[in-house]
């Protein structure tokens, strides 16, 4: 969410591309991703160590609020590869997603690329969090209009606008920043809380930790409420970022 200088964004973008996608656009031999293998792992798992991803993330990779699991579909290829790599290396050890460390260790680097390619090939048909149902069942829900202010404009002297890095309404800024708009509400609240208390610390340059430390519980609930329902585009802001700019430069095999 914190706004970076153009130079910093370019530098981090280059590092992210090379480190997490495995190749630069200039290389003669591009990274290959096998979506058939990614689909098979997603639907059926791999051996005894890796259960089917859809068990926790849903058949369409849209995440499940009741389980606290995130949407994976279309959030960004580089981001998925980075998170799986960080889980496997124990650089990300969320209390709410501890099972992911063992699962990721059962995946090869190629498996991670294949899964990321498959998860970013889903149709862009959102399945939004049912905030009314969550509230009925005792989950604290914020106020969307306050969250919209935080996401689009930030708060002077406190935090910058979320969309300064994550794009309009959090729709993603591929390849560096993931799509957080239309992410599951429970996951958004959990992750912002983890960034704030330091139990998640795999953010580049500590950006999210610094921002989250300035957020109150109310801020977190408000931002998550707006983001979980946010449209990718609105009248007057029609450009949609499809989070597939990296994927388009990867050799896809089936």
What value does the mean pLDDT take over residues 74-88? 97
pLDDT of residue 223: 98
Q: Is residue 239 part of a domain?
A: no
Q: Examine the domain organization and report whether 185 and 117 are in the same domain.
A: no
Q: How many domains does the chain have?
A: 2
| Residue pLDDT, tens place only, 119-150 | 999 998 899 999 999 999 999 999 999 999 99
- 87, pLDDT greater than 80: yes
Strand partners, 34: 253
Q: Is residue 237 part of a domain?
A: no
Q: What's the token pair of residue 117?
A: 């390619």
Domain range for 36 is 3-125+244-253
Reported pTM: 0.88
- Rounded to whole angstroms, the Cα distance separating 99 from 30 reads 32
User: For the chain, what is the mean pLDDT?
Assistant: 88
| Residue pLDDT, tens place only, 170-208 | 999 988 999 999 999 999 999 999 999 999 999 999 999
- Rounded to whole angstroms, the Cα distance separating 97 from 102 reads 10
* 88, 202 contact by CB (below 8 A): no
Q: Examine the domain organization and report whether 58 and 142 are in the same domain.
A: no
Q: What's the token pair of residue 46?
A: 């791999």
Q: Examine the domain organization and report whether 100 and 194 are in the same domain.
A: no
* 168, 200 contact by CB (below 8 A): no
Q: Is 224 exposed, middle or buried (0-12, 13-18, 19+ CB in 10 A)?
A: buried
Q: In percent, how much of the chain has pLDDT > 90?
A: 74
């Amino acid at each position: 969410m914190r706004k970076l200088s153009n130079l910093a964004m370019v530098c981090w973008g280059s590092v992210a591309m090379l480190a997490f996608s495995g190749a630069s656009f200039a290389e003669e031999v591009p990274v290959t991703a096998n979506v058939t293998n990614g689909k098979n792992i997603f639907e059926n798992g791999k051996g005894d160590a890796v259960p089917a991803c859809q068990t926790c993330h849903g058949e369409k990779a849209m995440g499940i609020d009741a389980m606290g699991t995130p949407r994976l579909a279309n959030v960004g290829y580089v981001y998925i590869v980075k998170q799986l790599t960080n889980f496997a290396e124990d650089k990300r050890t969320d209390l709410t997603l501890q099972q992911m460390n063992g699962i990721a260790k059962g995946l090869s680097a190629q498996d991670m690329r294949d899964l990321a390619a498959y998860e970013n090939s889903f149709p862009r048909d959102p399945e939004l969090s049912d905030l009314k149902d969550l509230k009925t069942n005792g989950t604290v829900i914020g106020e969307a209009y306050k969250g919209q202010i935080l996401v689009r404009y930030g708060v002077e002297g406190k935090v910058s606008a979320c969309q300064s890095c994550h794009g309009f309404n959090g729709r993603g800024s591929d390849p560096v920043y993931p799509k957080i708009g239309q992410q599951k509400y429970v996951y958004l609240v959990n992750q912002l809380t983890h960034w704030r208390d330091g139990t998640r610390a795999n953010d580049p340059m500590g950006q999210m930790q610094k921002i989250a430390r300035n957020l109150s519980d109310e801020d977190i609930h408000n931002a998550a409420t707006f983001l979980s329902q946010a449209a990718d585009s609105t009248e007057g802001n029609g450009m949609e970022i499809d989070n597939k700019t990296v994927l388009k430069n990867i050799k896809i095999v089936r």
